[in-house]
Amino acid sequence: MIINVVEKIDDRVKVNHVLISVSDKSGLETLVSRLIEICPGIRIFSTGGTFGRIREILGNKAKAILQQVSEYTGQPETQGGLVKTLDFKVYLGLLTETYNEAHQGDLKRTASVPIDMVVVNLYPFQETVARPGATVEAARGNIDIGGPCMIRAAAKNFIRVASVVDPEDYPTIVKELEANNGATTLKLRFRLAQKAFSHTAVYDRAIADYLSGRKFGDVSSCYPFCG
């Protein structure tokens, strides 16, 4: 396997493209409003209920700023939102390196854009399984796939991308963007990456602990067998 060795990066990265998909929408109105004020020309990609909420926040500005991920990728969401963000264009945008000519060629070839910030928090798995009478099926349905993938991709590429998983960090991010003319610094991106990987680790640990604590009878009783 060949691993790219990056030898040149930018400390400050302008935020031009943001992907937002959150279960916890607290603080979203302030974050989105400040993003469009600080970063003129910004484009926001979003999905599902988050898209609807951001469209409400932006009002008549939404058409120029906001785009469904499905419209951007050309792939409609599957029923129930099962697949929304798992797409080549999304991950190319997250993982591309600024000074890698091959990556830049791939962006042009696929009409993709580099995504500079991901704001994602996950399906409420822990809250779901803590409810009295929660079933294995309810737990299974709240295992987030696309969210952790986006968080990990953005955090891996902290040399360019800010991975935001906690609404409590929104004020810090806004302050940094204000101080740096709409850019994030490597120091902030690295700190966010540390938090992002910790976040997904805790999430996966919760799922593993829940499943390991179930008996097969808990599972089989949830589903009628066919055939």
Digits of tens for pLDDT over the chain (227 positions)? 777 788 899 999 999 999 999 999 999 999 999 999 999 999 999 998 999 999 999 999 999 999 999 999 987 776 556 666 778 899 999 999 998 998 899 999 999 999 999 999 987 788 888 899 888 888 898 888 989 999 999 999 999 999 999 999 999 999 999 999 999 999 999 999 999 999 999 999 999 999 999 888 777 777 777 55
**Tokens encoding 24:** 């916890």
Structural contact between residues 47 and 68, judged by C-beta atoms closer than 8 angstroms: yes
CATH fit for domain 12-214, picks 1.10.260.40, 3.40.50.2300, 3.40.50.1380, 3.30.565.10:
3.40.50.1380
Query: Residue 168: its pLDDT value, please?
Result: 96
Q: Please report which residue ranges of 22-124 form alpha helices under DSSP H.
A: 28-38, 48-58, 62-65, 69-73, 88-95, 101-110
CA distance 85 to 32: 20
Query: Residue 25: its pLDDT value, please?
Result: 94
Query: Residue 83: its pLDDT value, please?
Result: 65
How are strands ordered across the β-sheet holding 162-164? 66-68, 43-46, 17-22, 117-121, 162-164
The pTM of this model reads 0.91
Q: Give whole-number Cα distances, 37 to 29, 32, 65, 114, 126, in Å.
A: 12, 9, 12, 20, 35
* Neighbouring C-beta atoms of residue 3, cutoff 10 Å: 5
User: DSSP 3-state assignment of 18?
Assistant: strand
Q: Give whole-number Cα distances, 164 to 38, 105, 116, 212, in Å.
A: 17, 27, 11, 30
CA distance 120 to 127: 17
List 117's β-bridge partners, or say none.
Answer: 18, 162
